[in-house]
Structure formats: structure tokens, C-alpha cells
Structure 1
Amino acid sequence: MEPLTALGARDADRADAVVIDGYAMSYEQLLGAARAVAARIAGAPAVAVNATAAPHTAVAVVAGLLAGVPVVPLAPDSGPAERGHVLSDSGAALVLHGVGEPDDVFGGVATLAVDPAERGEFGGKEPAADATALVLYTSGTTGPPKGALMSRRAIAACLDGLAEAWEWTADDTLVHGLPLFHVHGLVLGLLGALRTGSRVVHTGRPTPQAYAAAGGSLYFGVPTVWSRVAADPAAARELAGARLLVSGSAPLPAPVFRDLAALTGQSPVERYGMTETLITVSTRAAGDRRPGAVGLPITGVRTRLAGEDGSPVPHDGVSVGELHVSGATLFDGYLNRPEATAASATADGWFRTGDMAVIEPDGVHRIVGRASTDLIKSGGYRIGAGEVENALLDHPAVREAAVVGAPHPDLGQQIMAYVVADGVSEQDLIGFVSDHLSAHKRPRIVRFLPELPRNAMGKPLKKLLPPLEGPSGEGSGGRG
């Protein structure tokens, strides 16, 4: 049970060791239910799990780990085409789902209802450390979703590195309300607790009120969750007794960082990772917490910055490069995609994240955006959209911001900002950014929108932003 060492630890009979949307289980009960399922799925090439925020998801995932059967988490809100692709591509022989959940939406794949109240025994052998534990499907922004093969060893290395960085122990109570079909909610938010032995409370929906009532020492959230918590001062103050507030999956706006610090008495910890790498970089519990910074590589991980020609980029806090990662937490490749796997690595074996970053002289990392959408080349400068977005969000009238590069006949690209704001003009915001950043990083165009298009994790979908109207270089006008 390499990734699940805490299931046999002290307090295994604590009745509320695992609480998911109000349903409580002890480690002992979770293990008994998982053994019953493991006995049924043993020998399967892979099983999918309809990963709703419900207790059957925890039981099913643990069952797969016990049986050595790769688990394929299915997003419960995925459409028929995406769901069909994942089931076909993964070769899942069964779909595990909750009792009473519909079982006729999986395209003819056999199903098995998982009852958390069931108990059973399983005597299978311990799977090898390099065996595939999870097949995590990417978001599919550049084509159909690809299945990233995550080994038991990689998951264990990630969780041990984070336990060290965050001083995460069996004495903690972890609280979160994140989806259980991706790295943040499933690997960190469930398997992390089962490895460290901490109690875990999944709140169902991640509302400020639910977080405030949970009484945790360790909280996980995405920026959207933390923004809502900061907007509810009474709920935020209830988190003052927590030991650590962790934010990830998207950059945390600097104003939210500061509001949380003021309301809870502590600055949040930010971390960075990807489906293919798990979590690789994090601020330490005892380290310096800076807005916009994601900290240092965890134990077992190395990072570097590379220019477009592959040359090293200095760690000077200014120069932008693509972040490359190497180490124990990396995936074993994309399922059935040897070409994509090869393309994701450099000639010397480092993983190309596709994210642009800056590394300070002291080694602290700042992620400034995706190379495909957030690296803006303007007048010979390489500018990360994230830095400009954070500057805009520092303006008290700006609630949301997304920055892109728009074509320009002289500069190559010009900085264009989309904002959700009231009572401020285009020129006000251009001047505000100029006062905070270098002049070449100021937006030349600001467009006002009622809201930004976002995905389920709260990340702006820049490809869905309205295109530039009018000749290149012509502003869109402000709104008073």
C-alpha cells in the first residue's frame, strides 16, 4: 500500500477520519469497503471511477490501489463525447459509481455500484512501486484529452515532498471542497491525507461557510474559492486558527493574497504543478510567503529555465524562460501516445511544462503564464501576461483581468487587457500599470467585459475572449 501507508496507522478506528459531504468513515471502514471492491476488480486492465464528491469515490480509488489496477477518474460533468473518449482510450473494463447513481451513461461499459458500507477481504500482493496507479486525463486544450500515466512511486514522492514542505502530519485536519478527479482534489486532497494520516473533511461545495465550520488546521483551495472566502470576512476570520492555507491550480491574485493575510492573520502558501508532473514547486510552511510566488522545488525535483533556443536563462528575477522539470514526481508518459510523450521531453530528458517562469536569485519561482497564450513578445521584450494581470488586479476597481498579446505592425505584439471593473477608464488602468511595472509592460488596449470566460478550476479561457476590433493599435475606449 505504498501511497496509502496511513491506512494502518494510529487512530485507524477514528469514526470521522474521512468525511466526504457529510458521510463519515474510519480508516478501518474505508479499508474494509475498499477490500471488498478490490476483490471484484482484481486483474482488470483498468477501471474508471465516476468521481463525484461522494464516499464511493474514495473507496473506489483505494480499491484500485490495493488491487494494483490503474484507476481512471471521470469528471462527472464531462459530456458524452469526452466521457466516451476517455473510456475507450483508457481501456477501462468497468466503471465504478455510487449506489443510486445513473449507470446507463457510460457507453455500454460494464458498471459496478460501490457501497461504502460494505466490508470484505482482499489478499492480493503488494503492487510494484513503478506500477501505474492513476491515469489522469489532461484538459485536452490541444486536442482530445491525453491519459497521463502516474506511478505509485511518483505519487508517494509528491506527497512525501509536500508533507515535508508543509510540515503536514497525522495531527492535521485537512479541509477542502475540490473536485475528486484531478491532482489537487484527489491526489493531494484525498491520497495526501491517507499517506500522512491526517483527518480529511471534504465539504461538498467549497463555500466560505462550509470552510469556516469545518475547524481544520490545513485548508486547500483554488483562487476562486479563496476569493469568495476573502469576500466573506466573518467566514475568513474563522480560519484564523488554521495552520496553513494552500492555494493552487491557478495563480492567486495579489489582492486576494493580501486580504486573506489581513483577515486570517497569515499569508497563504502557493504551489505549482501539472497533471504530468504532480506538484513540483511550493512555498514552505516556514518559508517566506510572497504574492505571486510559488516557492522552491520540493525534495526530489529539479527545475531550470530555458530560452527559445534551449539556452539557459539566468535566475535573476527578471528574465523569462520556459520552465523545465525533472525528478521523482513525473509521469511515465501518455497512454498510447508515444509521439506526444517524446515531444514533451527535451533531448536530455527534462519535461517541458509549457509554462513561462521567472526564478529569483534566491531560487523562488514565479509563474508568469503559458508559453502558448501568455508569453507576449513586444518590441523585443518577452513579457509574461501574469505579471501584468497581477498589476491590474492591484487596482481597487478591477475585479478580474486577463492579458493577451494582440498583433501590432511595429511591435509584433502589443499588450491587450480584458478587465471586469467599474468606475475606471482605459487610460486610468494603463497609467496605473505604468506606475507599477516597466513602461514596456503597460497595456496599450483595455477592453471592459461583464465577466471573463473561465473553466471549472477558475482559470480564464483566453481563447474565448472576444478578438481585437478595429485596426491594430487602436484602443477600445474606456468606461467611466
Structure 2
Amino acid sequence: MSSLFPALAGGPAGRPALRFGARSLTYGELGAAAGALAGRLRGGRRVAVWATPDLETAVGVVAALLAGAAAVPLNPRSGERELGHIVSDSAPDLVLAAPGAALPPPVRDLPRVDVEVHGTGPGSVPGEHAGEGDPALIVYTSGTTGPPKGAVLPRRAVAATLDALADAWQWTADDVLVHALPLFHVHGLVLGTLGPLRRGGSVRHLGRFSTEGVARELNGGATMLFGVPTMYHRIAEALPGDPELVKALTGARLLVSGSAALPLHDHERIAAATGRRVIERYGMTETLMNTSVRADGEARPGTVGVPLPGVELRLVEEDGSPVTADDGETVGEIQVRGPNLFTEYLNRPDATAAAFTDDGWFRTGDMAVREPDGYVRIVGRKATDLIKSGGYKIGAGEIENALLEHPGVREAAVTGEPDADLGERIVAWIVPADPQAPPALEELAGHVARRLAPHKRPRVLHHLDALPRNDLGKIMKRALGRS
């Protein structure tokens, strides 16, 4: 197949490629460093990468891809048991790490190669001889229902997703992307790092998220910002007292949020302060990106846009029959098909078979409705967010958005619990805006009933100091005690 990174061999050598904090590489320097390392990795099958938010991680992954090996990103915040499972399951030939990085026991037992990012000499970028179906990455899922599973992502999926996003977002070599996302997930690694490199543009990684860093980089020539809802919430909170941040977002070409739904309240606060709309996209480890609001389309809060070029998407009932009503109300499970999909769960043929329908559609487990014009709105996960109450199928996500519109609610999560009469009753878990005066159940139930429908109102309310979240800011609902 054609090169994943044509700019490494054919672009201007002095063009900025990567910047992590104060450290940076041009395309010439990246090509030399990654090319030299790729020569050492040639013939390898799998390469673990200690995925800290540093230049070395980006260089290591690019080198593995140039060498035709599959990169296995390792989360430095994972515990020894999880790391041990991933290392045993993926059986990498070696681990790439920044010089001096301390590795825990399950990882430090592997042969180690330190990634040198400077002083490697001119070098040359090797040709990429791997086929489009060969593994590019093995990314491990969160493991909420058992040990993490390794999703094998082929080179075809990486190329197809990044090219589809280039079409949807009008993404070019002139774009400079800012983000502060971890590099062991597809959002920060594939979209946020490999994406700019495939286009011939550049990425500036903040290392650690701050609104000051966002303002500095966007006001300093960057054009795009990728973030998760927690980051955009902090931006929305800071905007009223930070004119430099207002200026930065106002001048950005594209603001993208993903990994979880961005609450409507934060959408509106950012738009009111800057005149700019944040757009959302929808994807997952196994599929990379499926849908997005387009840069030339309507930035409609609460939706994840339309299917990307090359991606087929359908909604199905519980019995597998297609949902035929694109009415914005009928809930179905999202199934997708296209070149963006993973090929298998490593060493798990049973799980792989269960994930696909007989006709080749991937069962995402996400529930959604589709508008008449094709826009998709996610209402929750089938396993944790689909609540069957009083004969209705209700998505937790829309109730959460309604709760977040109440001035007394800072954070919200919704689950279901067994009810002898209704089947399941709706339970709201909220972090109040004022802990000394939290809103009562009756007030929030009435608020939801007026905005959505009476049968969608919460019947039980819990007040919390904080919601449990993972590294990407997603709420971990299983930790809320859903029965």
C-alpha cells in the first residue's frame, strides 16, 4: 500500500512536525530519528511502546510503522496486573521507551530499546513494505467486562480513517493541531499524532492540559484543537475571565470534542463567548472513527454528525431487524461496516466472532437515534445506558444532558435499577453546583419531564462529591453501583 506518512520522504525537511512542550522535531529530524530506529526494528512482529506524552512515543510508533511492525501502546498509569496481561497476551519482541524512563516489572523484563530523537545523523526513511491488511496497532480496550482485549487495527483502518477525517474536516498540511490527550488511546495517538503527520501538518502536544496552554498555542499559529468534554468544560469555565482564551478559540479553524458527549451547557457557553461551535465525532477503539459533524456542515450540539466517507452505519432493534424510522426518536443499536474496522481481538476468536453479525457488521453496543437528515445522536451504551422503564426504551445520555441544563447541577450521570412496577427506574447521580444547597429530586424530575417527557424523569437521586472517571474523562458507571 502507499506510505502512511508521505511527507516524511517527500515533504520539506525543515517543516515543523512534532512539538512536545519545549522539544520539537522537523520532518527531516523525525524522518532521520524514526528511520534509524525502524532499521533496528525491521523483521519484528510486535513492538511495545511505553506511551508517555513525549516525543519518544511519537517517534517510536512512527518507527514501528515504518518497519512494518505492529505497535502496542502501553498506558504508564496501568497497574502491574493489567500490564502483565497485555504483555503476556501481545508477546512483543521488545519495548521502546524514552531514555531514563522507569519501567515496572511486567514491562522491564522485555528487551528494551531507548528511543533517541536527536543526533541520529541524516539517515533515510525506509520504504514501507507492509500490506494494507497488516497490523499497524494493537490497542487494548478498557476491560470493563473482563481482562482488556487487544483490538488489532490494520494499516488500512488507520489510513482510511485519517483520510475520511481529512475530507470531513478539510484537514490539510497547513493545519497545526493542539492537544493534550494521552498517547495510549486512538484519540490522542491515531487522530492527534498520526493524523497531522499523514497530512504533512504539525502537532503541538501540551504535555499537560491547561487553558493557558491552549490559549498560547492557538494564539501562536495553531489552527485546530482536539479535546475531551472535561477539557472543554474547563475552557467554558475559564472563558469569562480570560480574554486571551476567548481570542484563541475565536480564531481557531476547528474545535473538536470526542470520547464522550459534550454537554449542551458547555456547547452554548463556548459559542456565546467566542462565536465558534465545537463539533463532535463518534468512534471507538475497534472502529476508529465512524461519524462526524463536517467542517462545512451544521455544527448541531448533541449530535455526532453523519457517517464518514466509506463508513456504512445502520441502527437495529434488539432482534437484529433494521430500524427504518429516521425520526430522531426511535432508538437502535449502532452497527457499522467499512475499511475503518479492526480485524480481530488478539487471541480471542470467540470474542471476535461475537462482535460481528453474519453479514459483516460490527456490533458497537452504542445506542442512538437518527434524524431525518442523517445526523446521528448517541443516547448511551447498550450495556449501561439503555433503560427499559414502563415499556419505553430510554437512553441515559439525553437525560444526563437535560440534567446538566439545570443551574444546580455541575455533573450528572444516569443509570437504571430494578423496579417491580416499571421494570427499571431511572436513577440520577449528580454533583451539585452548590454542595450546601443541592437540588431536590422533585425539582430535577420536573425539570427533566418538561424538557423531555414525563416517563424520562428520574425516580431516585444521589448527590456525590465527584463522578468516577477514567483517563479520558468518561464516567465509569459500573463504579456507581448499577445492579
The TM-score by the shorter chain falls in which range? over 0.9
**1:472 maps to which residue?**
none
Partner SS state of residue 239, structure 1: helix
**1:361 maps to which residue?**
372
Distance 1:302 1:53 in 2: 33
Partner SS state of residue 358, structure 1: strand
**1:475 maps to which residue?**
none
Partner SS state of residue 172, structure 2: coil
**1:301 maps to which residue?**
311
Q: Percent identity?
A: 53
**2:302 maps to which residue?**
292
Give the partner amino acid of 2:378.
I
Aligned positions of 1:419-438 closer than 5 A: 419-421=430-432, 422=434, 423=437, 424-438=439-453
**2:270 maps to which residue?**
260
Please report how far the alpha carbon of residue 38 of structure 1 lies from its aligned counterpart in structure 2 after TM superposition.
0.8
Aligned positions of 1:41-440 closer than 5 A: 41-103=41-103, 105=105, 106-119=107-120, 120-121=123-124, 123=126, 126-215=129-218, 216-233=222-239, 234=242, 236-237=245-246, 238-313=248-323, 314-421=325-432, 422=434, 423=437, 424-440=439-455
Partner SS state of residue 403, structure 1: strand
Please report how far the alpha carbon of residue 8 of structure 1 lies from its aligned counterpart in structure 2 after TM superposition.
3.1
**2:3 maps to which residue?**
2
Equivalent of 1:446, from 438, 461, 476? Answer: 461
**2:25 maps to which residue?**
25
RMSD of Structure 2 on Structure 1 (CA): 1.4
Distance 2:274 2:53 in 1: 27
Partner SS state of residue 192, structure 1: helix
Q: Per-residue displacement from partner, 1:292-318 (whole Å, max 9, x unpaired)? A: 100000000010001111111122110
Kindly tell me: are residues 418 and 65 of structure 1, through their superposed partners in 2, closer, same or farther at Cα, counting changes over 3 Å? same
After TM superposition, the runs of 4+ consecutive aligned structure 1 residues lying more than 6 A away are none
Please report how far the alpha carbon of residue 9 of structure 1 lies from its aligned counterpart in structure 2 after TM superposition.
4.3
Q: Per-residue displacement from partner, 1:240-259 (whole Å, max 9, x unpaired)? A: 10001000001111111111
Q: Per-residue displacement from partner, 1:144-198 (whole Å, max 9, x unpaired)? A: 1111111111100000000100001111111101001111000000110011111
TM-score by length of 2: 0.94
Please report how far the alpha carbon of residue 446 of structure 1 lies from its aligned counterpart in structure 2 after TM superposition.
1.5
Partner SS state of residue 367, structure 2: strand
Partner SS state of residue 272, structure 2: helix
Kindly tell me: are residues 123 and 281 of structure 1, through their superposed partners in 2, closer, same or farther at Cα, counting changes over 3 Å? closer
Aligned positions of 1:454-465 closer than 5 A: 454-465=469-480
Please report how far the alpha carbon of residue 4 of structure 1 lies from its aligned counterpart in structure 2 after TM superposition.
1.3
Asked if structure 1 preserves the Cα contact closer than 8 Å seen for 2:11 and 2:27, the reply is no
Kindly tell me: are residues 17 and 125 of structure 1, through their superposed partners in 2, closer, same or farther at Cα, counting changes over 3 Å? closer
Q: Per-residue displacement from partner, 1:268-308 (whole Å, max 9, x unpaired)? A: 01000010000110000111111210000000001000111
Asked if structure 2 preserves the Cα contact closer than 8 Å seen for 1:45 and 1:91, the reply is no
Which is worse superposed, 341-350 or 125-134? 125-134
**1:471 maps to which residue?**
none
Partner SS state of residue 308, structure 1: coil
Q: Per-residue displacement from partner, 1:377-434 (whole Å, max 9, x unpaired)? A: 0010000000000000011111100001111111100111011113322211111111
Please report how far the alpha carbon of residue 129 of structure 1 lies from its aligned counterpart in structure 2 after TM superposition.
1.6
- Say how many residue pairs are matched: 467
Distance 1:9 1:226 in 2: 36
Asked if structure 2 preserves the Cα contact closer than 8 Å seen for 1:39 and 1:121, the reply is no
Distance 2:366 2:174 in 1: 35
Q: Which runs of 5+ in 2 are unaligned?
A: none
Distance 2:98 2:5 in 1: 22
